[in-house]
Chain A
Amino acid sequence: MKKLFLAASLAALMTLPAQAADYVIDTQGAHAFVQFKISHLGYSWLYGRFNTFSGDFSYDAAKLAESKIQLTIDTSSVDSNHAERDKHLRSADFLNVGKHPKATFVSTKVVEKDNNNFDLYGNLTLNGVTKEVVIAAEKTGEGKDPWGGYRAGFSGTTTLTLKDFAISMDLGPASATVQMELSVEGIRK
């Protein structure tokens, strides 16, 4: 009887939804990406990413509204697969990385939409300018990994207007905005 009870409670415990937990974003294993795409002349998409960043989040499926995330990006790690362009992107015409080596995103609130979709509000500091942005986010999955850990993954997108962040280079009307895409996997601490 005692054994059965123990087994039952253990089983119950294991089927419970994930508890509120803190996660570190898996930049170590590079299962996280801060990417962007911007139109080139209105004719094609140019993709790039930031290679160096770190962050963590806390997430509770039952209390989504209490979830939080913070992310710090090394702006000099911008990589668009072209050394001359990346040099230009790091310059004062764009990201001004000498003066603003870090970009940060700190969430302020989470508004649930449906199932796995939610709006993530937060303050983005980029090129020395802080503005509130809304990331349309989605939980992409969670569960145990094969090596004894527990992981949860999310992706989200938001559109930034270059001028809003004092990025002075004029790339033409089709390229006034850049679409940011965040795809992160967290490992439960």
Chain B
Amino acid sequence: MWKNDVSRYGLISIVLHWITALAVLGLFAVGFWMVDLTYYSQWYRTAPYWHKSIGILLAITICLRLAWRYFSPPPNAVTTHKRWEKQISSVVQGLLYIGMVTLFISGYLISTEDGRPISVFGWFDVPAAGTLFDNQADTAGLVHEYVAYSLIALTLLHGAAALKHHFVDKDNTLRRMFGRKP
């Protein structure tokens, strides 16, 4: 029920997966929108605050997810998957993790260059490491921007592949991520 077994996802992995999906899409949308807000917009301060707060919470979630993946490895691939499908999907999934971690680090580096902590909804502060290298905020900002676009492209590919399995191959790949039995 909670843990993954050889053929199906447990509830914890499923919930972590969909929280991640929602957060990634939401963070991208807010990030894309908030950089062009006018100074007098009522969202000018709130949107970055939420973006940073949710980003930190997602970073914590991803740490938990990776730990959980270690304790409760994902089920085996659906038996009808071809070899190239398995290879590409594990590369894409690996890149999704790498992309997210890069975004957490680069986002953190933008906001903490001057030693200011990041407040997470006012619940707690993530302390700053200060300036770690020259042009930190600008460099980290560029990395954050390009990796975000890349991550969204990969996310779309990941989602499109799931839909392909569901509608074209008519296998259980997507259904499994909703807790259905294979």
Q: Which residues of A contact B (CB under 8 A)?
A: 76, 81-84, 86-87, 90, 169-172
Check if B40 sits within 8 Å of A172, measured CB to CB: yes
Instruction: For residue A84, give the distance in angstroms from its CB to the closest CB of chain B.
Output: 6
Total inter-chain residue pairs, C-beta < 8 Å: 30
- State which residues 22-48 of B face A: CB under 8 Å: 38-40, 48
Among the listed B38, B39, B40, B114, which residue makes an inter-chain contact with A83, where contact means beta carbons less than 8 Å apart? B114
Instruction: For residue A100, give the distance in angstroms from its CB to the closest CB of chain B.
Output: 15
Instruction: For residue B133, give the distance in angstroms from its CB to the closest CB of chain A.
Output: 13
| A169–B40 alpha-carbon span in the complex (Å) | 11
Check if B39 sits within 8 Å of A90, measured CB to CB: no
Check if B39 sits within 8 Å of A84, measured CB to CB: no
- State which residues 93-117 of B face A: CB under 8 Å: 110-114, 116
| A82–B114 alpha-carbon span in the complex (Å) | 6
Check if B40 sits within 8 Å of A86, measured CB to CB: no
Instruction: For residue B109, give the distance in angstroms from its CB to the closest CB of chain A.
Output: 9
Check if A172 sits within 8 Å of B39, measured CB to CB: yes
Instruction: For residue A170, give the distance in angstroms from its CB to the closest CB of chain B.
Output: 6
Check if B39 sits within 8 Å of A171, measured CB to CB: yes
- Provide the residues of chain A in CB contact with B141, threshold 8 Å: 87
Q: Which residues of B contact A (CB under 8 A)?
A: 38-40, 48, 110-114, 116, 135-138, 141
Check if B137 sits within 8 Å of A87, measured CB to CB: yes
- Provide the residues of chain B in CB contact with A172, threshold 8 Å: 39-40
Check if A84 sits within 8 Å of B38, measured CB to CB: no
Instruction: For residue A113, give the distance in angstroms from its CB to the closest CB of chain B.
Output: 38
5 sampled A-B residue pairs with Cβ under 8 A: A82-B116, A83-B114, A84-B110, A86-B137, A170-B40
- Which residue on chain A has the smallest CB distance to residue B109? A83
Check if B138 sits within 8 Å of A90, measured CB to CB: yes
| A170–B39 alpha-carbon span in the complex (Å) | 7
- Provide the residues of chain B in CB contact with A83, threshold 8 Å: 110-114, 116, 136-137
| A62–B146 alpha-carbon span in the complex (Å) | 59
Residue from the set A76, A87, A90 with the largest chain B CB neighbour count within 10 Å: A87
Instruction: For residue B14, give the distance in angstroms from its CB to the closest CB of chain A.
Output: 36
Instruction: For residue A97, give the distance in angstroms from its CB to the closest CB of chain B.
Output: 9
| A82–B113 alpha-carbon span in the complex (Å) | 9
Instruction: For residue B141, give the distance in angstroms from its CB to the closest CB of chain A.
Output: 6
| A90–B137 alpha-carbon span in the complex (Å) | 11
Instruction: For residue A189, give the distance in angstroms from its CB to the closest CB of chain B.
Output: 31
Instruction: For residue B60, give the distance in angstroms from its CB to the closest CB of chain A.
Output: 22
- Provide the residues of chain A in CB contact with B135, threshold 8 Å: 76
| A171–B44 alpha-carbon span in the complex (Å) | 12
Check if B137 sits within 8 Å of A84, measured CB to CB: yes
**Given that A83-B111, A83-B113 are contacting pairs, would A169 and B138 also be in contact in the complex, using a CB cutoff of 8 Å?**
no
- Provide the residues of chain A in CB contact with B113, threshold 8 Å: 83
